A and B are shown apart, each in its own frame.
Chain A
Amino acid sequence: MALLEASGISKIFGRLTALNGAELVVAEHEFHGLIGPNGSGKSTLMKCIAGAEVPTAGKVMFAGRDITSAPPSERARAGMSLKFQITSVLPALTLYDNVLLALQAQTSLPSLLFSRTRGVLHDRVMAMLEQFRLVDRASDAASALSHGQQQWLEIAMALAPEPRLLLLDEPTGGMSLEERRVTGELLQPIKQRCSLVIVEHDLDFIRDICDRLTVLDQGSVLDCGTVRHIQASPRVQEVYLRRA
């Protein structure tokens, strides 16, 4: 059974149809890339899946449960995690506290009040910071990080609660070539732990890490399949050549 199944997703903003019956199916431990030209509806589809937008029509099933109209907090509790397109780390907090904030989200209220899980979560916070090469900045405010490091911190925060599905919206946006390469390296080990849906413009990056791709164009799915299948798809080539 697929972990995520979004079917017939439409989203209309006033007179603009951003999505028109889009489909997305993601299996357990699959890395799935969402590509397409600017304005094709990638980020909107991601938002409909994460709960930032409610689709005008269609259904989102996650782990066998209909979450189409569930609020973001319930989706997160079901095992879905999102990294926003625009970096949204909490700049005034330290890196340590940013990750702790993400990790403790499902702690009960009495435990939060009496800080009962602070000690238990400490090792996981440090492990996450170490995995994303940020451990020596643990006590610094997140605002002191470079843009690339903020992106890594945000991925670490999204990954910290050990989600079943991680949604990454343009994780390498604004990064240098070297930072993109390292980001690819950082994402590879998570394959054993969760599935991934990634929106990205850098086709080389997405080709290297994804198992399957879905190509969107004008709010609809143009093609879907393995990386090799998409590379050979005349319809996809036509769209990209047309845009170029």
Chain B
Amino acid sequence: MTETTPTALRLADRKSRTRRWPLLPVMELAVLAIGALLPLVLQDYLTVYATRVLILCLFALSFDLVWGYAGIMSFGQAVFFGSAGYGVALLARDLGLTSMLIVLPAGLLIGFTFALLLGGFLLLGRHPSSVIFVSLGTLTGSYAFDRLARGWYYLGGQNGIPSIPAMSIGSYEWDEGPGFYYLALGILLVVYIICRFLVRSQFGLALAGLRENEQRIAFFGYRAQRLKAIIFSFAGAIAGLAGSLYAFHEGFVWPNMLGVVMSTQVVLYVLFGGPGTLIGAVIGTVVIEAVSFWLSNSYQDIWPIILGVLLLLVILFRPAGLVSLVLSERERVGEFGRPPGDRHGPA
């Protein structure tokens, strides 16, 4: 049994001094350094591919926030990604608006609004929503939006909206290549830092409580459903930002951007890399996309099967994802307060 002693605070201090230095910031800086140097060594066509991957990393961050941090299983994250993509494509096609100062905030707002509407419906009922209800609700939403886009002539039907003009700022146009790559990297970095700040704040502690035991924190006085709706909408805004960037980078939007396949893909990115770490979402996206790229060139017929088996193996034997090979559970969960003498916390 633990006894309170006059030296208890000194013991806590000594214990904290023997802890390992955190590896998470090292990993984050390493990934950033690699990302910053990549266009210098890659051929142009690979830089274009890497830009797409960076945008998908941004999309994966949005799913990591809702599932990895708040425990909301959204199988409809592509709704916010795709609707923002379609929204900015329409702004560019019908109104000629391509300024990034307009289209990126517009994408963010579209993602936020759709997430608020869907989240409000699924999460703000009189009683707490079950994981199954939210999963099926978001999945249905994704399917419905996909069908709607396919059947609506104004949105281009099955073909989507092609030939979107380039995004611009002043007279400069963001074409595919290193410029767009660094823009995407910069946006990803800013969003990552904001998310990192958020999940390590006291709000992040409330999210951790939500994920670990929603019922328990309601008995502390938390309005758990409202917290869920807030983080769901915020993540929707990030997905919207990613969708608008994706639309301008690819130059066209199509129904798959809204559908179940895209929604499932982002789930796999995060599960593969490690949910609830942010960096896991980035690493998972990069590894899956890189392996897919390599396999599709080397094993054209069977690469989806090989990739599927790889994913299954990681999810079966490393449920905490690839990052758990390096990061301890303590570091993945993080600390939110700072006991006396704790030189490392909060992480």
Closest chain B residue to A160, Cβ basis: B220
CA distance A100 to B209 in the complex (A): 11
Is there an interface contact between A138 and B12, defined as CB atoms closer than 8 Å?
A: yes
Find A112's partner among B12, B203, B215, B217 (CB 8 Å cutoff).
Answer: B203
Is there an interface contact between A139 and B16, defined as CB atoms closer than 8 Å?
A: yes
Find A100's partner among B5, B19, B205, B215 (CB 8 Å cutoff).
Answer: B205
**CB of A184 closer than 8 Å to a CB of B:** no
The proximity string for B residues 190-208 relative to A, scoring 1 for CB distances below 8 Å and 0 otherwise, is 0000000010011101101
**CB of B162 closer than 8 Å to a CB of A:** no
Find A161's partner among B198, B213, B221, B339 (CB 8 Å cutoff).
Answer: B221
The proximity string for A residues 72-85 relative to B, scoring 1 for CB distances below 8 Å and 0 otherwise, is 11001100011010
**CB of B311 closer than 8 Å to a CB of A:** no
**CB of A27 closer than 8 Å to a CB of B:** no
Is there an interface contact between B3 and A104, defined as CB atoms closer than 8 Å?
A: no
Find B221's partner among A105, A114, A125, A149 (CB 8 Å cutoff).
Answer: A105
Closest chain A residue to B222, Cβ basis: A105
CB distance from B185 to the nearest CB of A (A): 26
**CB of A101 closer than 8 Å to a CB of B:** yes
Is there an interface contact between B329 and A92, defined as CB atoms closer than 8 Å?
A: yes
Is there an interface contact between B8 and A135, defined as CB atoms closer than 8 Å?
A: yes
**Set of chain A residues within 8 Å of B4, measured between Cβ atoms:** 130, 133, 135-136
CB distance from A146 to the nearest CB of B (A): 8
CB distance from A205 to the nearest CB of B (A): 17
The proximity string for A residues 152-188 relative to B, scoring 1 for CB distances below 8 Å and 0 otherwise, is 0000010001000000000000000011001000000
Is there an interface contact between A105 and B217, defined as CB atoms closer than 8 Å?
A: yes
CA distance A73 to B329 in the complex (A): 30
Find B218's partner among A71, A90, A91, A148 (CB 8 Å cutoff).
Answer: A71
B298-321 contacts to A, CB under 8 A, are none
Known: A72-B218, A88-B216, A139-B345. A178 touches B201 (CB 8 A): no
Is there an interface contact between A139 and B220, defined as CB atoms closer than 8 Å?
A: no
**CB of B20 closer than 8 Å to a CB of A:** no
CA distance A146 to B1 in the complex (A): 8
A31-74 contacts to B, CB under 8 A, are 50-52, 71-73
Interface on chain B toward A: helix, strand, loop, or mixed SS? helix
Is there an interface contact between A122 and B218, defined as CB atoms closer than 8 Å?
A: no
The number of chain B residues touching the other chain, given as a range, is: 35 or more
Is there an interface contact between B203 and A109, defined as CB atoms closer than 8 Å?
A: yes
CB distance from A141 to the nearest CB of B (A): 7
**CB of A137 closer than 8 Å to a CB of B:** yes
Is there an interface contact between B1 and A178, defined as CB atoms closer than 8 Å?
A: yes
CA distance A127 to B14 in the complex (A): 19
Known: A82-B219, A115-B201, A117-B202. A90 touches B345 (CB 8 A): no
Is there an interface contact between B212 and A92, defined as CB atoms closer than 8 Å?
A: yes
**Set of chain A residues within 8 Å of B222, measured between Cβ atoms:** 73, 105
Question: Counting chain A CB atoms within 10 Å of each CB, which of B15, B19, B198, B222 scores highest?
Answer: B222
Is there an interface contact between B337 and A122, defined as CB atoms closer than 8 Å?
A: yes
Closest chain B residue to A137, Cβ basis: B2
**Set of chain B residues within 8 Å of A116, measured between Cβ atoms:** 202
**CB of B342 closer than 8 Å to a CB of A:** yes
Measured CB to CB, the residues of B under 8 A from A are 1-5, 8-9, 11-12, 15-16, 19, 198, 201-203, 205-206, 208-209, 212-213, 215-224, 230, 329-330, 333, 335-340, 342, 345
Instruction: Identify the 9 closest CB pairs spanning chains A and B, nearest first.
Output: A76-B221, A105-B220, A105-B221, A138-B339, A112-B203, A90-B212, A136-B8, A112-B202, A136-B11
Q: Can you list 8 A-B pairs, Cβ within 8 angstroms, ordered by A?
A: A93-B336, A96-B335, A96-B338, A112-B203, A113-B201, A115-B201, A148-B1, A179-B1
Measured CB to CB, the residues of A under 8 A from B are 50-52, 71-73, 76-77, 81-82, 84, 88, 90-94, 96-97, 100-102, 104-107, 109, 111-118, 122, 125-126, 130, 133-139, 141, 146, 148-149, 157, 161, 178-179, 182
